[in-house]
Chains A and B, each alone.
Chain A
Amino acid sequence: EVQLVQSGAEVKKPGESLKISCTASGYSFPTYWIAWVRQMPGKGLEWMGIISPADSDTKYSPSFQGQVTISADKSISTAYLQWSGLQASDTAMYYCARLRDVVVVVSASSGAFDVWGQGTTVTVSS
Chain B
Amino acid sequence: DIQMTQSPSSLSASVGDRVTITCRASQSISRYVNWYQQKPGKAPKLLVYAASSLQSGVPSRFSGSGSGTDFTLTISNLQPEDFATYYCQQSFNTPWTFGQGTKVEIK
Q: In the complex, are the beta carbons of B50 and A44 less than 8 A apart?
A: no
Contacts A45-B44, A45-B89, A116-B44 hold; do A110 and B49 have CB atoms under 8 A apart?
Answer: yes
- Residues from chain B with Cβ under 8 Å of A61 in the complex: 94-96
Q: Tell me the smallest distance from the CB of B71 to a CB of chain A, in Å.
A: 14
Q: In the complex, are the beta carbons of A111 and B44 less than 8 A apart?
A: no
- A5 to B76 alpha-carbon distance, docked (Å): 33
Contacts A100-B49, A112-B49 hold; do A117 and B91 have CB atoms under 8 A apart?
Answer: no
- Residues from chain A with Cβ under 8 Å of B95 in the complex: 47, 61-63
Q: In the complex, are the beta carbons of B98 and A44 less than 8 A apart?
A: yes
- Residues from chain A with Cβ under 8 Å of B32 in the complex: 110-111
Decide yes or no whether A90 CB sits under 8 A from chain B: no
- A110 to B1 alpha-carbon distance, docked (Å): 18
Closest to A95 in B: B43
Q: Tell me the smallest distance from the CB of B6 to a CB of chain A, in Å.
A: 9
- A47 to B91 alpha-carbon distance, docked (Å): 10
Decide yes or no whether A87 CB sits under 8 A from chain B: no
B1-50, CB < 8 A from A:
1, 32, 34, 36, 38, 43-46, 49-50
Decide yes or no whether A59 CB sits under 8 A from chain B: yes
Q: In the complex, are the beta carbons of A47 and B50 less than 8 A apart?
A: no
Contacts A95-B44, A116-B45 hold; do A111 and B89 have CB atoms under 8 A apart?
Answer: yes
Q: In the complex, are the beta carbons of A44 and B43 less than 8 A apart?
A: no
Q: In the complex, are the beta carbons of B49 and A116 less than 8 A apart?
A: no
Q: In the complex, are the beta carbons of B98 and A118 less than 8 A apart?
A: no
As a 0/1 sequence over residues 91 to 108 of chain A, the CB contacts with chain B under 8 angstroms (1 = contact) are 000010100100000110
Given contacts A97-B43, A112-B34, 10 further A-B contacts (CB under 8 A): A37-B44, A44-B98, A44-B100, A47-B89, A47-B97, A63-B95, A100-B55, A110-B53, A113-B46, A116-B43
Instruction: Name the 3 nearest CB pairs between A and B, nearest first.
Output: A111-B91, A112-B49, A61-B95
B residues near A, CB below 8 A? 1, 32, 34, 36, 38, 43-46, 49-50, 53, 55, 87, 89-92, 94-101
